[in-house]
Amino acid sequence: MNTSLFYTLYNFAHQSVSFDTTIIFFAEYFPYVVIILAGAFLLFHHDILKFQNPLRALARKWREIIIVFFSGIVGWGLASILKLVIHTPRPFVALSDVYALIPETGFAFPSGHATFFMALAVGIFMSHRKTGIFFIIAAILIGIARIMAGVHFPIDILGGFILGGACATGIANALAKRASNL
């Protein structure tokens, strides 16, 4: 089923230059846009000076930023370690008829991109539901584009999504528990 779903998505690639360019954009460049948007949202989503206690509002904002980006970084690190332990080949290595649209090296499972961007999205979702949904959709688009680009199997992306969501949830819960103990 993993290979079948992979080919269903991968077969959209190599059909037209313009669509390949779109796939490459979402797989390779859109992640940078998402990071910038997440950072901008977390810094500017509400006016600190409107609060009765601006220092507390600033502390909450930094807590959100730490949850979101630290979750992504921890997830990326765990994904990198798991890749070395699991040794799953990328589709263009495992399947002779697959030609990647973007250069990638190393092992595939779990996807570091899927892990990082789902951790970021879930971290935002925990504090800002509507905006979090936008970032979850962005993470899904990145994951699908990386399958279509021929650099990941669907299971690599799914594993990354699960790992990223778990990292964000675990770090948020740990920080909340720590804050309640202070």
Cα 31 off chain centre by: 8
Amino acid letter, 161: F
The whole-number pLDDT of residue 108 equals 87
CB 165 within 8 A of CB 119: yes
Mean pLDDT of 91-108: 88
CB-based contact 99:14 (threshold 8 Å): yes
pLDDT digits (tens, 9 = 90+) for 27-63: 999 999 999 999 888 877 765 555 666 666 666 677 7
CA dist 66 and 119 (Å) reads 12
Q: State the average pLDDT over residues 124-148.
A: 94
Residue 163 pLDDT > 90: yes
Lowest average pLDDT, out of 92-96, 117-121, 134-138, 155-159, goes to 92-96
Q: Which pLDDT score, from 0 to 100, does residue 40 have?
A: 83
Mean pLDDT throughout 81-107? 89
Q: Is pLDDT at 77 greater than 70 in this prediction?
A: yes
- DSSP assignments along the chain, one per residue: -HHHHHHHHHTTTTS-HHHHHHHHIIIIIHHHHHHHHHHHHHHHSS-GGGSSSHHHHHHHHHHHHHHHHHHHHHHHHHHHHHHHHH-PPPHHHH-TT---SS---S--SS-HHHHHHHHHHHHHHHH-HHHHHHHHHHHHHHHHHHHHTTS--HHHHHHHHHHHHHHHHHHHHHHHHHHHH-
Mention every residue, 6+ apart, whose C-beta is less than 8 A from residue 80. Answer: 112
The domains of the chain, with CATH numbers, are 2-181 (1.20.144)
- Provide mean pLDDT across the span 9-14: 88
The pLDDT score that the predictor gives to residue 57 is 67
